[in-house]
Amino acid sequence: MNTKIEKLPENVVKVEIEIPAKDAVGYYNNAAKRLAQYVNIPGFRKGKAPRNIVEQHIGEERIKHEALEAALPKVFSDVIRENDFDVIAQPYVESYDYNIGSDMKITAKIELRPEVTLGEYKGMTIEVDEYKTPEDAFQKSLDNLLQQSAELSIVTDRKTEEKDIVVFDFEGFSNGEKIEHGDAKNYTLDLANSSFIPGFAEQLVGKPLGEEFEINVTFPEEYHEKKLAGQPAVFKCKINEIKTKILPELTDEFAQKIGPFKTVEDLKADIQQYLDTQKADIDRTNSEKAVFEKVVGNAKVDIQQAMIERETDQLVEEYKQKLQMQGFSWDQAVEAQGYDAIINSLKEDAAVRVKNSLVIDKIAKEEKITVSQEDFSAKLTELSRMYQIDPQTMLKQLSQTPGVFNALSQQALNEKVTQFLAENNTVKLK
């Protein structure tokens, strides 16, 4: 087999391959024999018809395609090994000349991994803003525990107040038309924690039981349903029930009821420990992120557009799945945000992800960082706990989806490289 290599832009090489006629005929004959196993030819048992008879029934071109499908994996493997190519994507055939009795000629293109030039990535000192726990965080945590244990009491002798929970009917109209899915009966709403349109819950305050009234609001400009974005709306409402929260007293008995605590002081100590741990976790995460961003910024890499396009396609699929989980569709997102805006944003993310991945792989290669069986098993155990599936069952499922399997290995490598960078650089919290 003879090859001729030509370097092209965008980290692509053009390969002209010449396979001797003898080998080409061998591939062809073997392909004809395989196809004959699946063809019913009168007068012959399956797989026993001579080549010329098989050709008459299925045609030379089909046999040639079968021969190429069988030959190309080994051909490309030999070319890649002999030239020490670091391949980033599946090679693809541009053209071929396959005439029985003559040398087979194949022209293919192979996309290579971009060369990464690492800048400074060890021995750096980086300043990072220290996370400050909000002054009211402790009290808010304590108040939230009391709120979670609050009991609801029905109120009948007053109008609604800001911290009430109301059960009400509503029906919405915009520009004279009824809003689709903009109505409900006996809907429960916490007025102090409303996710309704801005201004909606506030106008439910000070309303009596049983009386019908109207409130006026304006949908946000960025509202997901384009037809309603920025439009005024009127909602006809009626309060059916008013409930108020009765908070428990902060006593030792309360502390014992909500957790393994004997006294209120034990509960408060646990809250403070949680806040301290949270601060340490945030500081560590911010430090790791700052170091990694500095390392990536110091690196130089010429990324071909094809890699960014493939990563963008992957991000589009992830985005569609995320939308589906949130109850939205791709078409709704495109209508609300615009196709170009979504794709351009995802392309920017794709470029960042590709460069991050290339830099991580380069550092792993330079520092001989690899993913061991123990590392992979730890990630597998972590994943199985998340989805509450037995690790062996999880492994069996992953083996059927190589993409997820590889992603899990890459995630383990990312974490090991991140840990290496954290250990080999100094972060000063300021």
Q: Please check the confidence at residue 412 and state whether its pLDDT lies above 70.
A: yes
The answer to whether residue 212 sits within a structural domain is yes
CB 92 within 8 Å of CB 107: no
Lowest mean pLDDT among 73-82, 147-156, 403-412: 403-412
Flag the least confident range among 54-58, 178-182, 245-249, 363-367. 54-58
**Residue 131 located in a structural domain:** no
pTM score, two decimals?
A: 0.74
242 and 158 in a common domain:
yes
What would the pLDDT profile of 286-331 be if each residue is shown by its tens digit? 999 999 999 999 999 999 999 999 999 999 999 999 999 888 899 9
pLDDT score for 43: 66
Residues 288 and 418 in one domain: yes
For residue 67, the domain's CATH number is: 3.30.70.1050
Final residue before a domain boundary, out of 63, 93, 112? 112
Residue 390: the pLDDT is 82
Report d(CA 258, CA 247) in Å as an integer.
Answer: 14
pLDDT at 391 over 80: no
Mean pLDDT of 161-178: 95
| Confidence (pLDDT) at 53 | 77
Q: Are residues 287 and 403 in the same domain?
A: yes
Q: What is the mean pLDDT of the segment spanning 240-262?
A: 95
Q: Are 291 and 397 in the same domain?
A: yes
- Residue 111 near residue 94 (C-beta atoms within 8 A): no
**Does the pLDDT value for residue 154 go beyond 80?**
yes
Give the CATH number of the domain where residue 209 resides.
3.10.50.40
Kindly state whether residues 52 and 168 are assigned to the same domain.
Answer: no
179 shares a domain with 103: no
pLDDT at 57 exceeding the cut of 80: no
Q: Residue 142 falls within a domain, yes or no?
A: no
Please report whether residue 60 resides in a domain: yes
The domain boundary residue, chosen from 211, 246, 281: 246
| Residue entry with tokens 């046999």 | 63
To the nearest whole number, what is the mean pLDDT of the chain? Answer: 91
Q: Are 23 and 68 in contact (CB under 8 A)?
A: no
How many angstroms separate the Cα of 188 from the Cα of each of 152, 166, 249?
13, 6, 26
CA 279-280-286 angle, to 5 degrees, is: 90
Token readout for 98 is 């396959």
Q: Is residue 144 part of a domain?
A: no
Residue 316 located in a structural domain: yes
| Structure confidence at residue 336 as a pLDDT band (50, 70, 90) | confident
Question: What percentage of residues in the chain have a pLDDT greater than 70?
Answer: 98
Average pLDDT for 133-160: 94
Contacts (Cβ under 8 Å, ≥6 apart) of 268: 138, 142
Query: Rounded distance, CA 288 to CA 281, Å?
Result: 11
C-alpha 392/C-alpha 382 separation (Å) is 13
Asked if residue 277 and residue 241 are part of one domain, the reply reads no
**Tell me, what's the pLDDT at 36?**
80
pLDDT band at 52 (very low <50, low <70, confident <90, very high): confident
Clarify whether residues 84 and 13 are in a common domain: yes
What pLDDT band is residue 224 in, cutting at 50, 70 and 90?
confident
What pLDDT is attached to residue 132? 96
pLDDT at 48: 67
CA atoms within 13 A of residue 412's CA, in its CB half-sphere: 21
Residue 75 has what pLDDT? 93
Residue type, 230: G
User: Where is average pLDDT lowest: 217-231, 256-270, 325-339, 380-394?
Assistant: 380-394
Predicted confidence band of residue 46 (pLDDT cuts 50, 70, 90): low
Residue 166 lies in a domain: yes
The verdict on 405 and 297 lying in the same domain is yes
Range of the domain at 89: 2-112
Residue 221 located in a structural domain: yes
Q: Over 70: is that where the pLDDT of 402 sits?
A: no
8 A C-beta contact, residue 414 and residue 408: no
Q: Does one domain contain both 273 and 364? A: yes
Neighbouring-strand partners of residue 243:
154, 165
Please answer whether residues 226 and 132 qualify as being in contact, where contact means their C-beta atoms are separated by less than 8 angstroms: no
For residue 320, give every residue at least 6 positions away whose Cβ sits within 8 Å of its Cβ, in sequence order, or none.
330
Total domains in the chain come to 3
